[in-house]
Structure 1
Amino acid sequence: MEFSTRPAILADAPAIHQLIAAAEQALHGQVEAVPDAVAADLRRPLIQLDLDTRVAEAPNGDLAGWAWVHGGRHAKIDVHPSYAGRGLGTQLLDWAEARAYEIGTDWLAQIVDDADQAGTELVRSRGYEVLATNWLLERPLSPEPPAVPTGIRLDGYDPARAHDVHQLIEQAFSAFQPRAKSFDEWAELTVGRSTFLPDVSTLAYAGDELVGAVIALDGEEGYVEQLAVRDDQRNKGIARAMLDRTCTEFLTRGRRTCILWTHSGTGALAMYERLGMRVRRSTTVYRTQL
């Protein structure tokens, strides 16, 4: 089958989300992707849609697959289950590698779902090696009030503290993310999204000082996009209290589970397990030299 390709446009975001949802349903029996995630990604400042994205269309007009390269070093490729096994993944991987090489980077990484045997075999056959592991964690929700540490106050998201929240999160993540995000980029990916839930999100204060934050999004399940505690306030129970409050708020909105992603570079898996979360599934980050 011949597939035609072209750059993605913002109007493709709903169809790309449906493609990703179909892949998740086929691999795991449920949809976990937040509906506006693709639109947020396509608006990232380092993405030039005409150069850094491709969508593949089947002869009947179906969106069969898509790929993007972010910052020259990170690729994402998804193929609709209806069009798996027809060489489309290989075609899109060829494009991603060529685009990264064109930008001038010396390596390329991409995430492959561990349940995607064909995708894993493809990158392995091309010499990709394991760089990191991501885990999707879940927590069944129950109406238990948070145990708030002495001297700590919890509240919903306050837009007047937006820059403080951005600074706290960026500092907390600085050790393992490749670059710092500007306020505008961070906001586009978090509090500026249509699925952002300010009342479900949680901020923690010690006096008037912001010491922790949870950014919550709405989807098929309650979704925690980010959780951070200021360095000097860790190991005091603040993370648990914030997560408990956010999970209680999710429950009042009819959600039955809360989910979030973490990866091996953060060293946070054990902490989340202590907070009552468990691994649902995993993905692997593979990297190759160009």
Structure 2
Amino acid sequence: MELPPGLTTRALSFDDAQSVTDAMAADEVAATGEAAIELADIVSDWRRPSFDLATSTIGVFESGRLLGYAELGGHDRADAAVHPDHHGRGVGTWLAHWVVATARSRGASVVGMPVPQGSTADTLLATLGFRVRWSSWILELPTGSAIPPRPLPEGHTIRAATDEDHRAAWTVVEDAFLEWSDRERDPFEDFLAKVVQRPGFRPWHLRVAVDPAGSVVGVSSLVMAQQCAFVERLAVRRDVRGRGLAQALLADSFTQARAHGADRCELSTDSRTGALSLYEKVGMVVTSTWVNRAIDL
């Protein structure tokens, strides 16, 4: 399909990162009432060594202003947003077609993207034949609440990760996530770009649980966006699960965050993990629901 007259497209560059952040934030506010995206999310994502900005992104512009964008961030994972001031002009439909064509050219059999449930983007993708692949939820620990403490197994400790822990932390996270996620293992260098090389990273953002031998057996990684702490990764090695390490790591991360000025603590989970009820049992509440809409190619 063609865009309306006067609109142009091109691959994005790092100079566009703020404009992409602004468009995504406006789209999130229109769909959910608040913006979660921040510039560091875009920059760290685009800095991944496996990501080619020139061939994996597209922007739609009018008189030099970004109206919407899309990126193919992995083999079957895309992200896209259109500024709400420009909904209804065909920009989102054009971007969806670009995502499908780009993914198909790379040999993907399916491609999908996360959108807020019931949003304009959700409705559009459904109309274009995208099915719900899974659901996900943002949960918040209410102000004044705390994750119930869990004693650590004998000889285990939780501390900030050191440089020497990074590869082991990556291994624990990838091993755990690949139990339910149908994708290739993310490269270690991408983990570094997204976590420890992310703008604003501080050592206390990456916490590890270690056993009596000093081996990393659990990981919690968070980001701080103003006064909101968001746990992006929480993983425990399979052979030591069921001993309270995940809850202990979560409680520790939120305690650290509040000590560093956070007044909100959040995380996300999706229907592939089966963990929603576990987070609700420790006092977290769902604040928004998202769906991953995908289409077979």
- What is the TM-score when the length of structure 1 is the normalising length? 0.92
Q: Distance in 1 between matches of 2:32 and 2:210?
A: 38
Using the TM superposition, name which of 19-28 and 278-287 deviates more.
Answer: 19-28
Matched with 1:195 is 200
Identity rate, percent:
29
Secondary structure of 1:258's counterpart equals strand
After TM superposition, list the pairs within 5 Å mapping 1:52-63 onto structure 2.
Answer: 52-59=56-63, 61-63=64-66
Q: Note the 1:1-290 alignment, pairs <5 A.
A: 2-59=6-63, 61-116=64-119, 118-142=120-144, 146-151=149-154, 152-177=156-181, 178-207=183-212, 208-220=214-226, 221-290=228-297
Give the superposition deviation at 1:104: 2.8
CA distance in 2, matches of 1:115, 1:255: 30
Shift of 1:146: 4.0
Mapped partners of 1:143, 1:273: distance in 2? 12
8 Å Cα contact 1:73-1:105 kept in structure 2: yes
Q: Amino acid of the residue matched to residue 55 of structure 1?
A: G
Distance between the aligned counterparts of 2:153 and 2:73, measured in 1? Answer: 43
| Preserved contact between residue 57 and residue 72 of structure 2 (Cα < 8 Å) | yes
Determine the C-alpha separation between the residues in 1 that align with 2:171 and 2:106: 30
SS in 2 for 1:169: helix
* Mapped partners of 1:46, 1:163: distance in 2: 17
- Alpha-carbon distance in 2 for matches of 1:150, 1:72: 39
Q: How many residues align?
A: 288
Segments of structure 1 that go 5 or more residues without pairing to the other structure are none
User: Which moves more between the two structures, 36-45 or 158-167?
Assistant: 36-45
**Alpha-carbon distance in 2 for matches of 1:156, 1:44:** 23
Stretches of structure 2 that go unaligned for 5 or more consecutive residues are none
What's the CA shift for 1:49?
Answer: 2.1
- Quick check: 129-138 or 146-155, which moved more? 146-155
State the AA in 2 paired with 1:13: A
CA contact (8 A) 1:130 1:287 kept: yes
8 Å Cα contact 1:205/1:212 also seen in 2: yes
CA drift at 1:253: 2.1
Residue type matched to 1:158 in 2? T
1:143 Cα deviation from its structure 2 partner: 8.0
**Aligned-residue offset at 1:35:** 3.0
Distance 1:150 1:98 in 2: 51
Deviations 1:99-127 (CA, angstroms, capped at 9, x unpaired): 122223232212221141x2222212222
When the two chains are superposed, the root-mean-square deviation of aligned CA atoms in Å is 1.9
Offset, 1:141: 4.8
Post-superposition Cα deviations, 1:257-277, rounded to whole Å, max 9, x if no partner, equal 111121111122122222322
In 2, the alpha carbon distance for the partners of 1:195 and 1:89 equals 32
1:71 and 1:31 map into 2 onto residues whose CA distance is 23
CA contact (8 A) 1:107 1:288 kept: yes
